[in-house]
Amino acid sequence: MRSVADMTMTAHLQGLAKRQTAPIQQMGDKFGEMLKTSIAEVNQAQISANKAAEQIAAGETKNLHGAMIKLEEADISLRLMVQVRNKAVEAYQEIMRMQV
């Protein structure tokens, strides 16, 4: 048989869960959209850098300086995205190791 304190604690925890569900879901949606946008930007930087490198190799442009800048920007953005991914995986693994 449950005590009054157990039932009160259970009711309190259920009330907290109901209140926090919507904001947490909204934060997850916003994070997901931010991640999608960031991945798309990194992809676009990679495409732009590849195009600039192809133009240099084909002799279509003489702007080596601009091409190198695009290549470095693409490299840095990709490195940053990899680090974000690594941190997200680490956080997920840490959560999975938690005992309930």
Q: What is the mean pLDDT of residues 1-23?
A: 60
In this structure, is residue 90 part of a structural domain? yes
In this structure, is residue 93 part of a structural domain? yes
Which pair of tokens denotes residue 1?
């048989």
In this structure, is residue 2 part of a structural domain? no
Q: What is the mean pLDDT of residues 15-23?
A: 60
Task: Name the residue range of residue 58's domain.
Answer: 24-97
Which pair of tokens denotes residue 51?
């195009």
Q: How many domains does the chain have?
A: 1
In this structure, is residue 3 part of a structural domain? no
In this structure, is residue 70 part of a structural domain? yes
Strands (E), the chain: none
Render pLDDT for 34-82 as a digit per residue (tens, 0 to 9).
Answer: 889 999 999 999 999 999 999 999 999 888 999 999 999 999 999 999 9
